[in-house]
Structure 1
């Protein structure tokens, strides 16, 4: 068997790799030297050799541009699909709004409804959140000088927020519906069940004292009932929700995370009827108790005898 010759390739390869590593390390040190002379040499090197390698950088530049174009196209496609979905939703909402508007106009025309002109509002700006861990309230920049009265309802652009609880000359305090001391009567639609909305310091207050809970479903609309004269009726409060324990709660319609401007609803006490006699007639006077049987009538012959 012939012997293999001495392998010169391996030592040469090792020497070349070592020299390349030393060259790269020296180039790294040279590039890191903080000296005006080294900076001038580096600038001269870049100006002399880098433009000559532009042909080598052209494919990499083109590939980078293609990748950027593909990513931009993918983002545009996703945005286009999202806009299409939003447009479909808006078309559905538009159709529903048009139908509700037509239905409302028909009902108003048929019933000859007269809207209450006294239910106006005062818009105020939220100054600060004065709530604590045990109290949920905000301050408004409207007060007694603007005609605000204690107990008036307060809402944002969507639904009921709370009520006025404390009025100053220029500011007023609003107790939110999530405050533990908040109790308002509400009505659940379409079942018409009455309930009491109770704040418990959470974003989902509870619905208590429902006579027939089996008629209530998650997603039902909840409005103020107007019982007791606390709030005007038919103000949107939110939707019914159910927690993990099966308890009925309320998902608020108002955006509590961004309370900036609130509307204070002017509400006036209902007119009292002074004279009820014209409406309810008094009962006719008579004897109390069972009636006596009629007296027997005597014949004339019997009377003469």
Structure 2
């Protein structure tokens, strides 16, 4: 077994530690001496030693800067969180403002829509969509107390929506044009072709029974014809489009995705003429034609002409 040599490291370490302790104690005592001479010596030592120790102060400076940066980051994070909360509140206010703007625009559209001036209307609010997979209808908050009658047409700010199909005291049901039971006579402009708008439970109802389909092109305007007294004539229904199945369909002018306000048109049936002869009643039931002359001279002058006319006939 190899023997270890003399250990010189441990004694030297002990000596260095002892010397360092003595120096520190002496420096401490020297720093505690209250004497003008000692104060001058301390100042001279600080002036000579401190500038040469800038490299030792660099880590302390970096650490202090990091601490300041972290505090600044914490303040920025708090401000960011506050701004996020304020932004969420602003988004809620923005959503409310957008909804109010949409309602305002729809009400303005209802006021600006041009229909027959003889037609008055009652505006109602859509309370609930009571439709189903086999029935397309909505409920309005106006009923018989508001003078609503079954069969009247309803419009939004853009176009025809449907007809009143049930009236209660305070509510009424509107059957939409997309309902399979809906059958509306319409006119395609500018060709003037008559058609029947038939709901088939899709967003694009059919245009059936067109006499000359070649005269109907996509983009043509479709309005109610007034045939059969179902709806007043001239109400905008939409535009002609060609469906994916190749059939002629209608892109409705009404915004069915956002039905909030509906205008119910008061339409009264036209007066039915029973006796055609009673339209014009003349008090004078004598000869109808130009007045005969009254004086004898005029009668003498007019007699040859009458006789000649009779002979020619």
TM-score, reference length from structure 1:
0.55
Structure 1 stretches (4+) deviating beyond 2 angstroms?
44-47, 49-53, 115-118, 272-275, 278-281
Larger radius of gyration: 2
Summarize the Cα distance change of 1:252–1:47 in structure 2 as closer, same or farther, 3 Å threshold: farther
Deviates more, 1:234-243 or 1:117-126: 117-126
Answer yes or no: is 1:159 the counterpart of 2:175: no
Query: Counterpart in 1 of 2:7?
Result: none
| Alignment of structure 1 residues 140-159 onto 2, 5 Å | 140-159=140-159
2-structure distance, mates of 1:45, 1:214: 88
Query: Counterpart in 2 of 1:259?
Result: 259
Query: Counterpart in 2 of 1:128?
Result: 128
Equivalent residue in structure 1 for 2:64, among 45, 48, 67:
48
Summarize the Cα distance change of 1:48–1:141 in structure 2 as closer, same or farther, 3 Å threshold: same
The structure carrying a bigger helix percent of its residues is 2
The alignment partner of 2:165 has SS state of strand
Query: Counterpart in 2 of 1:175?
Result: 175
Summarize the Cα distance change of 1:260–1:47 in structure 2 as closer, same or farther, 3 Å threshold: farther
2-structure distance, mates of 1:166, 1:213: 35
Query: Counterpart in 2 of 1:186?
Result: 186
The alignment partner of 1:50 has SS state of helix
Post-superposition Cα deviations, 1:257-296, rounded to whole Å, max 9, x if no partner, equal 0000000000001012354115599xxxxxxxxxxxxxxx
Post-superposition Cα deviations, 1:66-120, rounded to whole Å, max 9, x if no partner, equal xxxxxxxxxxxxxxxxxxxxxxxxxxxxxxxxxxxxxx9xxxxxxxxxx965410
Offset, 1:246:
1.7
2-structure distance, mates of 1:221, 1:235: 11
1-structure distance, mates of 2:159, 2:61: 70
Q: Residue 118 of structure 1 contacts residue 266 of structure 1 at CA under 8 Å; is this kept in 2?
A: no
1-structure distance, mates of 2:227, 2:63: 86
TM-score, reference length from structure 2:
0.53
Q: Residue 183 of structure 1 contacts residue 198 of structure 1 at CA under 8 Å; is this kept in 2?
A: yes
1-structure distance, mates of 2:133, 2:188: 29
Query: Counterpart in 2 of 1:196?
Result: 196
The alignment partner of 2:257 has SS state of helix
1-structure distance, mates of 2:116, 2:200: 33
1-structure distance, mates of 2:244, 2:132: 27
Summarize the Cα distance change of 1:117–1:251 in structure 2 as closer, same or farther, 3 Å threshold: closer
Structure 2: state its 5+ residue gaps: 1-59, 70-113, 282-313
Query: Counterpart in 1 of 2:216?
Result: 216
| Count of matched residue positions in the alignment of Structure 1 and Structure 2 | 179
| Alignment of structure 1 residues 95-114 onto 2, 5 Å | none
